[in-house]
Chains A and B, each alone.
Chain A
């Protein structure tokens, strides 16, 4: 059943004018990843991607804090112990040393999958043409300016700027 015209994947179809805005509002290490993974995947599909960092998510683009994000099992009822998959009792989650341990453990698991750290992930997103934006209210509240942020952050936007900029975009809130 040879075909006269070869079957070629559709790479540059009309879907490439798709636009995606991802709001990153969390500052815990585990919650930094959903937005980064989706944003990166969308860029690889030729989608225009804007990441907007607000409230606790602001730490993700803070030049220093982005390297020190932490994970805690406190209040997380889906946290299972590495051995046996048993749910971690909350009294255990509060023990001294648990937060550094679980941060170390999560980082190790992420690294095992070949997934970059938060700063490196943002480097990759930037290099892939993704746009990074800070939130004005969060910056004002924390007393931060563009000088405190990664160099590839393009600007600090008001909520209205964001709404205007994402006209026609699909929005994901993390």
Chain B
């Protein structure tokens, strides 16, 4: 597993760059990750990210777009607007979580 430096601290990531350690993330790092993929964070972006983090903590699994909609209450259409093209992966990346594994 590669280790890389962001905001002057060392973080563990997988081969693609997704964080592998839940506890190494905080919102400052989230903002930095968002910057890397050209997402400008708004309050609404943070609401989605906070949902993903809390849901992961409960279930040990990253929520899919379907779940972010049906459980989190963020419509799929809005997810595509906030994190264009590949919302599930982009949300997971900014939230410091692994890519979602669910099919739907």
Residues of A within 8 A of B (CB): 1-3, 6-12, 16, 37, 40-41, 44-46, 113-116, 121, 124, 127-129
Contact = CB atoms under 8 A, between A and B. Distances in A.
A128 B17 contact: no
Interface centre among B3, B18, B80 (most CB of A within 10 A): B80
25 contacts: A2-B5, A2-B10, A3-B4, A6-B4, A6-B17, A7-B2, A7-B4, A7-B13, A7-B17, A8-B36, A8-B37, A9-B16, A9-B89, A11-B85, A12-B86, A37-B103, A41-B103, A41-B104, A114-B67, A114-B70, A116-B70, A116-B104, A124-B66, A124-B69, A128-B80
Contact of A114 (B13, B88, B89, B102): B102
Interface size range of chain B in the complex: 20 to 34
A62 B2 CA distance: 51
B90 A127 contact: no
Interface of B: 2-6, 10, 13, 15-18, 36-37, 64-67, 69-70, 75-77, 80, 85-90, 93, 102-104
Contacts, number: 79
Contacts of B86: 11-12, 44-46
